């Protein structure tokens, strides 16, 4: 074991036990999920962040790569009350600093009261609080990471074959692998495209659906994805998840804002405004749609804070979700979203998972 310190933006320096050595910095956020640590750590939406787990024991059912959402760990560091040895070995294999034996309840309370904050981390034999403060001094805010899409997107187009139900152009702003698999399982052919794909490249592909994925940071940093929405809205159906909802809203005249501490976990209640039904959802985002603009209607809202969880324009064939309908690790209340997306091009497959209706 080694020394570890977290220097917080509020001026505090917290001492902990070092599990994986290293020095780093990022935005300190927390997740309330008590399962799904493999999915969380491999979720590209956590890029440039330091992930704190509020559940006290992380690693109690091992590490299995079939649960991964991407090919690597994305948070810059991981914090928990206690990590198991198997998780520590996994984090160490990717040189991701890790600390535990820390009061995560206190950290979470601080974030809830003061908002997500910058932090600096120093882990290793002989590190000092000043080392952590030096990292903090170099930390940028999430809105300053203008090139963050390059860090999480594919470099070249990738193709995943379904059964020809529809051709989907998935703009990869940091897409979770389960989004692609959810579409392919329903028969869609999925073209995973770089976040900076041009209008002409999409036009040449001639897809049936344009789909904007989840991803990290400020949606304002994904201007090219917004340009695609502006260009193809009304011509082909458009869908979006998480960051994708924010990008679609901005492209169609809406506005977004940074949340105090975001939504991260598997227990966020969402109500459909037409049916009144409430479902539990998986979420991971630090920004939200403030105003949807004149072209989109809010179809679903968060029960806790009234933020927009679903947007739609039936005439333009636009449908988005702020939460993650692919629901890894769960719950599975909202898997029917993918049926609804494909229904815009005539899909009449399995709709047994549909739990929340749209306008």
Domain ranges of the chain: 2-140, 148-343
163 is in an annotated binding site: no
pLDDT tens by residue, 211-254 = 999 999 999 999 999 999 999 999 999 999 999 999 999 999 99
Which position among 47, 135, 309, 326 bears the catalytic label?
Answer: 326
Residue 242 annotated as catalytic: yes
Q: Which fold has domain 2-140?
A: Glucose Oxidase; domain 1 (3.50.30)
215: annotated binding-site residue? Answer: yes
- Which of 98, 54, 100, 102 minimizes the C-alpha distance to 76? 98
* pLDDT for res 335: 85
pLDDT value of position 329: 74
Taking a C-beta distance cutoff of 8 angstroms, is the pair 120, 134 a contact? yes
Q: Is 173 known to be catalytic?
A: no
Distance from the first to the final alpha carbon of the chain:
55
Which residue in 119, 139, 173, 242 is the catalytic one?
A: 242
* Strand, helix or coil for residue 341: helix
Rounded Cα distance, 220 and 146, in Å = 8
Would the annotation count 70 as a binding residue? no
Sign of CA dihedral 332, 148, 308, 306: positive
Q: Distance (Å, rounded) from C-alpha 106 to C-alpha 169? A: 43
Measured from the Cβ of residue 35, the count of other Cβ atoms closer than 10 Å reads 14
All residues at 6 or more sequence positions from 296 whose CB lies less than 8 Å from its CB, including other chains: 248, 249, 252, 254, 311, 312, 313, 318
Distances (CA, A) of 288 to 106, 292, 338, 351: 26, 10, 21, 28
Residues paired with 50 in a beta bridge: 28, 77
pLDDT number for residue 354: 40
Question: Can you tell me whether residue 149 is helix, strand or coil?
Answer: helix
* Predicted structure pTM score: 0.94
pLDDT at 355: 38
Q: Does the annotation flag 5 for ligand binding?
A: no
Q: CA nearest 201: which of 235, 181, 231? A: 231
Element (H, E) at 78: strand 77-79
Domain 148-343 falls in which CATH fold? Rossmann fold (3.40.50)
Task: Please count the residues of the chain.
Answer: 359
Beta bridge partners of 175: none
How is 172-220 classified by DSSP, letter by letter? ESS--HHHHHHHHHTT-EEEEEETT--HHHHHHH--SEEEE---SS-GG
Q: Is 246 annotated as a binding residue?
A: yes
Question: What's the pLDDT tens digit per position in 146-186?
Answer: 899 999 999 999 999 999 999 999 999 999 999 999 999 99
Point out the residues of the chain with pLDDT beneath 50.
Answer: 351-359
287 is in an annotated binding site: yes
């Amino acid at each position: 074991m080694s020394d570890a310190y977290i220097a917080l933006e509020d001026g505090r320096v917290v001492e902990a036990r070092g599990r994986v050595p290293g020095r780093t910095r990022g935005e300190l956020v927390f997740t309330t999920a008590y399962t799904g640590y493999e999915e969380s750590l491999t979720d590209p939406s956590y890029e440039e962040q330091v992930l704190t787990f509020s559940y006290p024991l992380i690693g109690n059912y091992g590490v299995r790569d079939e649960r991964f959402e991407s090919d690597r760990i994305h948070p810059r560091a991981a914090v928990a009350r206690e990590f198991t040895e198997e998780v520590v070995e996994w984090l160490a294999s990717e040189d991701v600093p890790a600390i535990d034996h820390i009061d995560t309840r206190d950290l979470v309370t601080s974030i809830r009261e003061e908002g997500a904050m910058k932090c600096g981390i120093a882990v290793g034999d002989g590190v000092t609080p000043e080392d952590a403060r030096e990292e903090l001094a170099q930390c940028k805010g999430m809105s300053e990471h203008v090139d963050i899409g390059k860090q999480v997107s594919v470099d070249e187009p990738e193709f995943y074959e379904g059964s020809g139900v529809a051709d989907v152009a998935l703009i990869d702003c940091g897409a979770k692998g389960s989004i692609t698999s959810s579409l392919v399982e329903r028969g869609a052919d999925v073209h995973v495209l770089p976040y900076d794909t041009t209008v002409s490249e999409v036009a040449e592909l001639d897809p049936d659906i344009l789909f904007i994925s989840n991803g990290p940071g400020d949606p304002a940093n994904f201007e090219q994805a917004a340009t695609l929405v502006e260009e193809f809205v009304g011509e082909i159906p458009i869908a979006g998840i998480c960051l994708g909802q924010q990008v679609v809203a901005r492209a169609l005249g809406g506005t977004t804002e940074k949340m105090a501490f975001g939504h991260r976990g598997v227990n966020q209640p969402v109500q459909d405004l037409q049916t009144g039904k409430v479902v539990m959802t998986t979420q991971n985002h630090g920004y939200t749609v403030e105003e949807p603009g004149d072209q989109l209607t809010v179809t679903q809202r968060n029960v806790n804070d009234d933020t927009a969880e679903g947007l739609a324009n039936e005439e333009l064939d636009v449908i988005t979700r702020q939460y993650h309908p692919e629901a890894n690790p769960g719950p599975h209340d909202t898997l029917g979203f993918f049926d609804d997306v494909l229904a815009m091009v005539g899909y009449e497959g399995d709709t047994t998972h549909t739990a929340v209706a749209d306008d």
